[in-house]
Chains A and B, each alone.
Chain A
Amino acid sequence: MSNRQAANDPVSAAIENLYRAESRRVYATLVRLLGDFDAAEEALHEAFRAAMEQWPREGIPRNPRAWLVSAGRFRAIDAMRRLSRFSPLDEGTHDLPGEGDDPLAAVAAGEDIEDDRLRLIFTCCHPALQPEAQVALTLREVCGLTTEEIARAFLISPPTLAQRIVRAKNKIRDARIPYEVPQPTELPERLDSVLRVIYLVFNEGYSASSGTDLTRPDLSAEAIRLARLLVELLPDPETMGLLALLLLQESRRPARTTPDGDIVLLEDQDRSLWDRALIEEGLALVDRVFAGRRVGAYTLQAAIAAVHARAATAAQTDWNHIVTLYDMLLRLEPSPVVELNRAVAVAMRDGPEAGLALVDAILARGALSDYRLIHGARADLLRRLGRREEARAAYRRALELTAQEAERRFLQRRLADLEK
């Protein structure tokens, strides 16, 4: 966004807010109307450019989103027309979006049927695309993350990720993957990829992997909104379980950081700050899913979060129940990260020695050696056991692997405490 406008110009401020809050939604609608990702991206930027030019003169329109969609679409059709005029071999095979249509009506009609972002997310998560490409594409196109942000979340290089996204878009175009929500018969299977992506998006917002802000509320709110839409569309147990998990984690946001932006650990959080409405909603969903027969991985994680939510104080946490839930989760989805989380819970139930043994076993296998959280966990357990030299080494290792500012400050403070 251009910084040329004065910071306290209300129209510019409004456009900035609109960009942050609505640009991906406008984009999703443009993809439907134009039938092409790249054209929609161009159109989006053209639309905002037009808004910056016209709104100071004409005022902010009554329905800004519809205005932007219409403006973007108009310029895109214009551009396509100019292109076809200059390709003699292309005998007008473009299907230009209905020029006779009233664009505002088209926007409204689309919105009545389904959120265009649902179409977009199902298209981005199509099984014809490689799994990593599905996630990358969704984060890029649905949530508007930059290539750098996504690359960091997955620990790969930005050029590799950019290539992945380009290949995926080419496949969508060449194989003609349609921009639609799957038929009811295909829906359950198609849902799994989508849930995975939503969870990753939430995590990026909940604990940003880079930058100065520990949390980015927009992304987490986005993920929750998408999860809610999915629950409406398909009240599948795992979809409800995922929503429950997101709500319960989100409920703790007000307590997770100090006013200065420093980390507050779960055990130290002021629980009166937790959002009770989100907790009630999350607990109700967990209970509802557990009443049925199918309990999946997200639901189990939600149940673990529910144990914390139900504890009035940290000391009253039922750690044994949490360990049991982790046992079930491990059977369903064996992974070293789940093992690590279980080890931390075991340490709370049985003491740091027991937890440390499990953590060391993971590392001894060669797993998670570059995972910052295992070194942080290990450092904490060593600290509690009074093994200061080893704890310091582990904190240093964790710092090497951590780019997030608030996390770094936390680790540095622990390190400083041990060096006194």
Chain B
Amino acid sequence: MKYICLGYIDAGWFAGLPERERQTFIDDCVAYDDELRRGGHFAGGEGLQGPETAVTLRHVNGKVTVTDGPYAETKEQIGGILILEANDLNHAIQLMSKHPGVKCGPFEIRPAADLAQMVAESRARRGQASGRESSPAA
């Protein structure tokens, strides 16, 4: 079962780390990601560049507006996404509790939504064959 893990980080904290501690932290995270891969638990993931690189699209008054910055101006911002393959929630909690990333900010863990049925119904309505393709943008 897939769990989406959103890793939050206080950017100021990370930037404020001395060089060597930053590298140790990164090494620990990469090493643990590799451990998850070896266990078959790493189904995908990306680090995010800082919130200052973000743009946010919104639909306002009938058109799409683009603004500089992240969706929410919070102290802790999303620093990375990890798609975790785990048996159940306890298993997901166990795996992510040991991730070094949890030391620098919270991990939000949510089960991935299975949109297969929704997509199939939509295709049926649009007169297409009920395909077995993986759901988009899941």
Contact = CB atoms under 8 A, between A and B. Distances in A.
A361 B56 CA distance: 54
A349 to B, nearest CB: 48
Interface stretch (A70-78, A97-105, A174-182, A407-415): A174-182
Interface string B73-100: 0000000000000011111011000000
A175 B89 contact: yes
Nearest to B87: A178
A89 B90 contact: no
Contacts of A316: none
Contacts of A186: 90, 93-94
B121 A178 contact: no
A90 B90 contact: no
Contact of A176 (B111, B117, B120, B130): B111
Contacts of A177: 88-90
B117 A128 contact: no
A160 to B, nearest CB: 25
Nearest to A182: B90
A8 interface: no
Interface residues of B, number: 14
Contacts of B91: 178
B26 interface: no
B31 interface: no
A89 B89 CA distance: 26
Interface residues of A, number: 13
B98 to A, nearest CB: 10
Nearest to A176: B88
A176 B94 contact: no
A174 B111 CA distance: 7
B115 interface: no
B22 to A, nearest CB: 29
A126 B111 CA distance: 16
A3 interface: no
A183 interface: yes
Contacts of A182: 90
A178 B117 contact: no
A186 B95 CA distance: 12
Nearest to A177: B89
B121 A128 contact: no
B111 to A, nearest CB: 5
Nearest to B94: A183
User: Which of B88, B90, B93, B117 gathers most chain A CB within 10 Å?
Assistant: B90
B1 interface: yes
Interface in A155-211: 174-178, 180, 182-183, 186
Nearest to A90: B117
Nearest to B110: A175
A89 B111 contact: no
A260 B6 CA distance: 61
B94 A128 contact: no
Nearest to B109: A175
B89 A180 contact: no
Interface of A: 89-90, 126, 128, 174-178, 180, 182-183, 186
11 contacts: A89-B117, A174-B111, A175-B89, A176-B88, A177-B88, A177-B89, A177-B90, A178-B88, A178-B89, A178-B90, A186-B90
